[in-house]
Structure 1
């Protein structure tokens, strides 16, 4: 039996992993009186994106984001107007990169890895959120789950990247700050690397795949990846 090829391509999640979603907090502070509602909204957004996929349904991530904002508002007896929706869209399109993103990407590229992204967000015209954040130049390709009309962690999303790039899933390592994402990637045959940004951690429970690598920031994680899987 031939030996499996080493990891040659790093697949990055985008929202919160590379781009800082905390810049949405002023909207939630103004509408709800607390910026911490951002986390409730984001968790519900992920929950219902996954629910749609499990139910065999699909609605673009941006539309779900707006709908989830209105849903959270309804549960709190708060009114959300068209101006609030437009502000959400504008802020989501202009999220800045985390300070550790560009140096980590540069290190991985210099180490010989190919870099791509995979996001639940829909694709769009240039300039994309990654380009606005100054990170577009690092990536060979950017993939959206809209191509398979399923949200992560559906296995089809990770296999999309492998198929389009002409590599085996075992040659991919997904980098994300959400454990549900690395679990999905590993279940599809990829490797998983978790960056434990605030409020993200591993899940110590039976049969839950642990990430291959874990680090508190992208710089440390890039160092671990380069030392563990440096391409030949």
Structure 2
């Protein structure tokens, strides 16, 4: 039987935030719509590369540099030095996915809720506040204060230390298989949110739970634990 965890640890970007508005921001800046997803993937890739060499980079520094390079390569982009910051402004003011508010409200009934982002804690705080659920989370953590980015083991151990729990008392909730794999290898329990119906990569450690959305995850834990 699956027992509800004492602490549910949430990834932030894409897991809680809806990245859809970035597509419009890219198009408005003269970049292709598909560039929004590519840009975010590149930010993560380069952050992981720096993490692999023992560095703990600033997410926004990487994001802004990558945006400027995307703008430089886009034939339709305007010659405007402030354009990258305007796109970043959209990224830092996204809204929650529709399932997040009811999902976290249900999960909060049986667990402490905490976020752990490769971005800044301030962005997570702002996102949750706009959605009206900040008070449901005890902490918003960032790898900026940890030794390394996720999916390095040290990031998850940092979160466990901040909550005063063992790693196996935390369940990471994320849409990213790489995050699920990293948390699982660090000893955390895991739940993969698969809103798109994607196939999970066979080379990563499988999640303990797969759910279509956060409400579904809460229902699984409630039924299994109750």
Q: Say yes or no: does 1:212 pair with 2:208.
A: yes
Displacement, 1:68?
1.4
Specify the alignment match of 1:20 in structure 2. 18
> SS at the partner of 2:144?
helix
Gaps of 5+ in 2: none
Specify the alignment match of 2:176 in structure 1. 178
How do residues 109-120 of structure 1 correspond to structure 2 at under 5 angstroms? 109-110=108-109, 112-120=110-118
- The answer on whether the counterparts of 1:20 and 1:96 sit within 8 Å (CA) in structure 2 is yes
- The answer on whether the counterparts of 1:178 and 1:200 sit within 8 Å (CA) in structure 2 is no
Displacement, 1:21?
1.1
Gaps of 5+ in 1: none
Q: Say yes or no: does 1:202 pair with 2:188.
A: no
Displacement, 1:229?
4.6
More displaced 10-residue stretch of structure 1: 171-180 or 218-227: 218-227
Q: Say yes or no: does 1:228 pair with 2:224.
A: yes
Specify the alignment match of 1:101 in structure 2. 100
> SS at the partner of 2:222?
helix
Output the aligned Cα RMSD.
Answer: 2.2
- The answer on whether the counterparts of 2:177 and 2:201 sit within 8 Å (CA) in structure 1 is yes
Displacement, 1:76?
4.7
> SS at the partner of 2:148?
coil
Specify the alignment match of 1:161 in structure 2. 159
| 1:159-198 C-alpha deviation (Å, 9 max, x unpaired) | 1111111110000000000000011001110011001133
> SS at the partner of 2:29?
helix
Displacement, 1:22?
1.2
Displacement, 1:151?
1.1
Displacement, 1:126?
9.8
More displaced 10-residue stretch of structure 1: 68-77 or 143-152: 68-77
Displacement, 1:81?
3.3
> SS at the partner of 1:82?
coil
Q: Say yes or no: does 1:143 pair with 2:157.
A: no
Closer, same or farther: CA 85–229 of 1 in aligned 2, 3 Å: farther
> SS at the partner of 1:14?
coil
TM-score where L is the length of structure 2: 0.89
> SS at the partner of 1:15?
coil
1:229 and 1:50 mapped to 2: Cα distance?
35
2:125 and 2:224 mapped to 1: Cα distance?
34
1:198 and 1:149 mapped to 2: Cα distance?
32
- The alignment of Structure 1 onto Structure 2 pairs a total of residues equal to 223
2:28 and 2:213 mapped to 1: Cα distance?
30
- The answer on whether the counterparts of 2:4 and 2:222 sit within 8 Å (CA) in structure 1 is no
How do residues 37-56 of structure 1 correspond to structure 2 at under 5 angstroms? 37-56=35-54
